[in-house]
Chain A
Amino acid sequence: MKWKKVLSLCLAAVTVVSAALLTGCGGGGASSDTSFTMWIYLGENAQYYTDYADNPVLQWMTAQKWGEEEKQVEFEFWIPAAGTALDSYSTMIGSGSYPDVLDCTVANPIALYEEGTIIDLTEYIEQYMPNYTAFLDAHPELKPYATYEVDGEQKNLTVIGLKDDYESIYCGYCYRRDWIVKYGTNPETGEKFTGGYTDESDPDSWEDDVVFPSGGTDPVYISDWEWMFEIFEKAYTDLGIDDAYCISVYYTGFTWPGDLCSSFGGGNFNFYEDSEGKVQLGCDKDHARAYLKCLNTWYEKGWLDESFNERTSDMHYAIDDTAVRQGKVGMWMGLKSTLGGRLDGGDEYTDGIFVSGCALPINDVYGDESCQNVEPDCVMTKSELKGQGYAVTSAAKDKDIATLLTFIDYLYSDEGAVLATFGLSPEQMEEIGTSFYEDNGIPNGTYEVNEEGKNEMVETIRQDSGGLKNAAVLSRFPCLKKVSILDEGYADSYQHSLDLWIQYKGGADVWATPAVSNLPEKDSKVVDDVMTKCQDYVTINAVTFIKGEKDIDSDEDWGTWCKMLEKYNYKKALDVLQPYVDKYGLHANEK
């Protein structure tokens, strides 16, 4: 009996001591734990690495010591397989097994905060992120993207990626400038154009004397585009291309965020903010009708791809890519890689090809005055100064968030932003002993400082289209990108095309702006519901106007379209959105 008592006491003592030790370990280690798990929406090209912790910039960062206590920070990345990000996100949130840091590409931060999944970073950011705060203070127009309104208070629920200038984008409208030279004539003098390559081996060494009807050397108006289409028709006749067309559009006949539709007086088919700061649904407005009228005219004239609505699996920037690369299309929405003479395959349709980029047009032909001579203000393919948001979840609440944010804040300092934008310097490579840059043909890094003091991308990066640049710098992590000192190193004609692609900055599209992201869940459902129904109706029926199955000039047909949209009670969604647009929209400061 005595032994039993002793044994029981020993066991009890062991249990108490173990519990105390375990509690102690948890408590003492909690706030000092600087190992974080992080979910990111997309990884880099697997050719370079599959674990984002192998990113050379992150390797250098994690080798340094951070914060007052000089601690190292570690990351374990969770990256969903391509195309499964939404499923991966739903599973994580639904099961409660989410990481410490969350890429908010598919998340609603307000909903996550209200559910207790992510934490309020406001105080942490104030205390530990001076560089981030300073940049936002200097750019107040970006602040609404960095904060969320919760119970009347502005809270930092995420840390967002930022850029200090507009960066070139990956796609835009392209046209066969060589055909303009070969088949066109000066609209004023009637003389034939001249032009060609100055160096046959350089795909960007093109010079010509092309003048458009609007008087400039680049197309500006819809009338310029139609002038080009007439020239393309001559090319098709001359070359004997009988399955050619001048331009195609996305299979629905439009893109929701805007682009070409926005050329007809501003606005898009979606919710947008008009010039007076009122939120509107675009698809039943005059600009939408003018846009559909234009496409219907192009379709009737044979300029528009007659099978555009069948190309459902094509991306908006690569519609009927085969025909484009075969040299059968005059104008298209294309990637950087189609510019210049890069499509020259030496065959009969692409021999001597020169492709130029152009800006979105301004309508000067269709609709009434309100639809004409207005710059596009809803641009899907725009360049933006703000990037993705990243939240810290409740899974990290016992970890050292202060050190994590100090680590991240460095990437918003001048020095850190250069590191994130351009990758490691040779000294930094040596410091951590990485061979990444050498292995990929850029032993001295991604750039060289040029005469203008800008960081010019090296030739290997310029020629690469496989994601080397993104893999060599920090692209999937919160940071500031120093675009203002970036020189891509492109030839003048190439750079000119890229500049035209981002000529119109947009910003009137209400979707994916603070006006929508600050909507409470209940209001958000009203807007989503209306939008889903309108989207379905418009997607089905826009094509019928373009193809002439319904008459766009008929008030009866247009009236039916408008009535159907009204039936979905979109005005309720407008009422819900208006206060948020007043607060966060383009004209918020004027109110």
Chain B
Amino acid sequence: MRVYTTARTAFRALRRNPMRAMLTTLGIVIGVGAVIAMMEIGAGSSTALKKTIASMGANVLVIRPGTASSGGVSFGAGSTTTLTPEDSQAILRECPSISNATPMVRARVQVVYGNRNWVPNAIYGATPAYLDVQDWTILAQGEPFSDRDVLNGNRVCLVGQTIVRELFEGESPVSKEIRLKNIAFKVIGVLTPKGANMMGFDQDDVILAPWTTIKYRVTGASSSTSNQSTSSTSSDSVNTLSNLYPATQGGLYPEKASVQQADNPMPIRFENIDQIMAAAINSGEIANAIEQVGAVLRERHHLRPGEPDDFNIRDMAELTKTLSTTTTLMTNLLLAVAMISLVVGGVGIMNIMLVSVTERTREIGLRMAVGARGKDILRQFLVEAVVLCLTGGAMGIVLGHGGSLLVKLLLKWPVETSLTAIAAAVLVSAGVGIIFGFYPAWKASRLDPIEALRYE
């Protein structure tokens, strides 16, 4: 018997009792629908979750200058001045695994507004890319500074929520002027609240400005050599806004021994920065990104093979681990839910098929009497089950997809259409049809035609 004939027979048999066929299909419709909806909603939630963890900085690489040492005394990480803004641009340009990078300088000075003052946890000088790297692009108010502001060293800044609370007492800080070490900065935007990071560091206690402004107008030195006590003396000096280096205290570099200086003369680079912050395109690319950044920096810094790095690259290993664990957990959870739904649907199909076999005992007997072999009957019932499952699968895909779209529209949940889930659902529904349809079909094929014909 040809497959076409079998399929046609199956369709006719199903059409003869549309109500029963529909009820049978319902199990699979709901099963597959649940799978699709769960997969789509789950994938959306998973992505949202990943994004949330990523926004904590899981993809971020921090590149800091290496260690200077003098006479066996190490000055700790970041004590040399080997990184330049050009390094940052080169990293962004030459590393395919890096999505964005920003040079950064840090300062810790007093901020004054009206009769209030405050010393923020961090005053960062960066480029607008910083917001992208930190996934902080949406501002609470105002707008971010631009690359042009960075080029011109404009005195503009963004302030965090803690600054708003401490200095402005709730009024909008946008277009107000604050003073950092007597330099007036115009507040052009307010960052959204981010709360504390994993180490309890208040991330909202921050002021963000173009790195050129911070470096050349505010600190004039690397943060490792400046601190609050030395900079406080700046209030004594005359505030000359046009002065590029208004308060230069301390040397640009840590003091070097005269022998060392003679051995290793270093061209003075005034453009040195405290660190580079870069973002990998995703958490899986972090290892590649570290390798690429290392290669680019070694080449730019003319380091010979065997010579130690004059920089450190740090990733957020803990966060990355959390991210991958969460992703695996979500995937497994979704898989478990999908499997349970399909097994439930399959058992439903099996039950109705068993009922159908009992109900159609006489038909089976008749078919056998007119010449159907056991395997013909087996095939017919199997094809019926598969047809039911595939029809149910198709309807389930529509239902599940519709359901997840509805969730997206009504609840504003993140939803991701998953072609894999759809393909898997079709395959699995056919598989469920074969697996759970086999027992009833086998039972039907084993019927004795005499008994079957006599069955009431």
A and B: interacting chains: no
